[in-house]
Structure 1
Amino acid sequence: MIFIGIALLVAVGIALMISADAGSMIGLTQTQTAQLVPMVVILIVFAGGLFSRRRRAAELLGAVGLWVAIFAAVGVGYAYRDELLGVVGRVTGELQPGVAVVDSENRTAEFRRGFGGHFEIAATINGHTTPMIFDTGASAVVLTRADAEAAGIDLQGLRYTVPVSTANGTGMAARARLKNIEVGGISRRNIAAFVAEDGALDTSLLGQTFLETLGQYSVSQNSLLLRD
């Protein structure tokens, strides 16, 4: 196993040389340098077997096969890393509704449709994690009283004078202002919102006062994409 470990270290070193195009310093191209990796591994392992009388040929070949399989798996995983990350993100979205798959490079956040048919959103309002439902029909971000209180909004000073339509029917809401709201890494400050009166709303809604600040949002069959 010592020789196999040495072979691994040597192979890693050669791989680093390939990425830096170090082979050109000794007259080899990147392709030629890459071909050295399996050759060096095999030579070192077999050399180790010659110096070790206790190791049988079958064990030696088994060890070689194991390391070849490990290198192959690592190579395939690296080559398809972007696709694998996408798969992991989708699985996470299915198992944890409301959790965004964030693409920092493209400045997007993707959510998967929940089992109830809605797009559940784990938003952060004034530093507090708030479960919400994506709702293009809501003219503003609408919070339940419990979520508003948890987000630090002063409920005592609210006046419930604005009629709103919810899944529970028509209710009344009060105007409020959110210091900060963050959804899937997309942050906005000073967003207008409503706080629904007690019992008028089961879950807070992510409405137009946030959505209209986005560069784009789109809905497919099972995916919601928000773009900063």
Structure 2
Amino acid sequence: MSGDDIGTLVYLGLLGAVLIFWLVVQGRNSMNKMLQQMAVWVLIFLGVIAAVGLWGDIRQTVAPQQTVMAREGRIVLPRAPDGHYYVTLDVNGEPLRFMVDTGASGTVLTKADAERAGLREDEFAFYSEAMTANGPVRTAPVTLDRVSLGPFTDEDVSAYVNEGEMSQSLLGMSYLRRYARIEIAGGELVLER
């Protein structure tokens, strides 16, 4: 147990003692009611501790992650609470999160994701243009040396780097067409090779 843990334990112990003392002083005339209130507070406290301790399991249930089924040649992506599908790809050795966009013809990286993947900003030539919902944006064509998703690895993958601000990299059809089947059903997006 670290010094911070001991300090937190002492603080919680003192806080609990003060609350118990206050309850005893306030409820000295009605001990039955005081015991009921104390039991309620103990249950609330135990519930909070249980929720904090089980948060990892709860989060996995509420927001499931992508599933790779290597033997079956399938990738299953759950629909996120915002209604989109997200996938984490290994791009040039770096895990990058993409929003799947079947309406986009190309795969588009944010500048930050491109730099994380080892592409240098001074090498970007923003001479191509893409039409977005917000109008035209300038893009720089790039080639990703290696892109992996589960057991599937592709080399020399064409993509673009967006010159403008973009909150999320987009995984478009230039990558998705490498899969033999794309299916959206039952809140899941399934990719098969």
> Equivalent of 1:218, from 164, 183, 186?
183
2:138 is aligned with 1:209: no
Residue in 1 aligned with 2:82? 116
Aligned pair partner of 2:92 in 126, 135, 138:
126
User: Which of structures 1 and 2 has the larger relative contact order (alpha carbons within 8 angstroms, sep 6+)?
Assistant: 2
Note closer, same or farther for the CA distance 1:198–1:126 as it changes in structure 2 (3 Å cut). Answer: same
Query: Contact 2:63–2:80 at 8 Å: present in 1 too?
Result: no
Q: Which has the higher helix share?
A: 1
Q: In structure 1, what is the Cα distance between the partners aligned to 2:170 and 2:62?
A: 20
Count of matched residue pairs: 135
Question: In the alignment, residue 158 of structure 1 is paired with which amino acid?
Answer: F
SS in 2 for 1:105: coil
Residues 135-174 of structure 1 mapped to structure 2, 5 A cutoff: 135-174=101-140
User: Is 1:144–1:196's contact at 8 Å kept on the other side of the alignment?
Assistant: yes
**Aligned residues of 1:93 and 1:100 also touching (Cα < 8 A):** no
Separation in 2, partners of 1:122, 1:106: 19
SS at 2:153 equivalent: strand
Which sections of structure 1, spanning at least 5 residues, go unmatched?
A: 1-90
* 2:92/2:146 contact within 8 Å kept: yes
2:183 and 2:101 mapped to 1: Cα distance?
Answer: 12
Q: Which is strand-richer, 1 or 2?
A: 2
The answer for the alignment partner of 1:95 in structure 2 is: 63
| TM, length-normalised to structure 1 | 0.55
Q: Which has the larger radius of gyration?
A: 1
Q: 1:153 & 1:195 partners in 2: Cα distance?
A: 10
Q: The residue matched to 2:72 in structure 1 has which SS? A: coil
Identity of aligned residues (%): 27
In structure 2, C-alpha distance between the alignment counterparts of 1:128 and 1:211, rounded to whole Å = 19
Alpha-carbon offset, residue 206 of structure 1: 0.7
Change in Cα spacing, 1:168 to 1:128, as seen in structure 2 (3 Å) is: farther
Q: TM-score, normalised by structure 2?
A: 0.64
Amino acid at match of 1:195: V
